[in-house]
């Protein structure tokens, strides 16, 4: 990635990602329903509404079909989580998000060292956020 910012936590990075995208009251952000609380809490810090999508039983990450079903005219972003070092199907997520003008924020807190089709975790969204959380693989 061209730029990196060092912060106290992944939670701060998710919070700043939402602020940088101008997300606030009246906006909706899709997030998987199986993740750590910090994937969802920053959505409420900026006054937006979290919309919980199902996970894919194969990788425990955001289901692209469920993401698509959660989209409304208010959806501004999706926080895709690389849970336990697994990664969701970013090609399909990017296609859906691109069609609706939705920004992808990648929560890679648990995925340092993971790859999706050769691309490193943390490089799949407009922002990618890490933690000192140990990768769980």
Ligand X SMILES: Cc1ncc(COP(=O)(O)O)c(C=O)c1O
What residue ranges bind ligand X (CB under 6 A)? Answer: 9-11, 35-36, 38-39, 81, 107, 109-110, 131, 133
Q: How far is the CB of 35 from ligand X (least distance, A)?
A: 5
> Which of 28/107 has CB closer to ligand X?
107
> Which of 51/81 has CB closer to ligand X?
81
What the block records as the tokens of 106 is 């990648």
From residue 45, give the alpha-carbon distance in Å to each of 2, 16, 51, 78, 103: 27, 10, 14, 16, 18
Phi, psi of 87 (to 5 degrees): -130, 140
Q: How far is the CB of 56 from ligand X (least distance, A)?
A: 16
> Which of 39/75 has CB closer to ligand X?
39
């Amino acid at each position: 990635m061209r730029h990196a910012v060092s912060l106290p936590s992944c939670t701060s990075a998710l919070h700043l990602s939402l602020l940088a995208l101008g997300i606030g009251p009246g906006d909706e952000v899709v997030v998987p329903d199986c993740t750590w609380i910090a994937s969802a809490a920053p959505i409420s810090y900026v006054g937006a509404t979290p919309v919980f999508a199902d996970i894919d039983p194969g990788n425990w990450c955001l289901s692209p079909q469920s993401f698509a079903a959660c989209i409304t005219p208010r959806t501004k972003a999706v926080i895709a989580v690389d849970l336990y070092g697994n990664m969701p199907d970013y090609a399909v997520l990017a296609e859906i998000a691109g069609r609706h003008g939705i920004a992808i924020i990648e929560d890679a807190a648990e995925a340092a060292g993971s790859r999706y089709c050769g691309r490193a975790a943390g490089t799949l969204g407009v922002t990618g956020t890490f933690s000192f959380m140990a990768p769980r693989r």
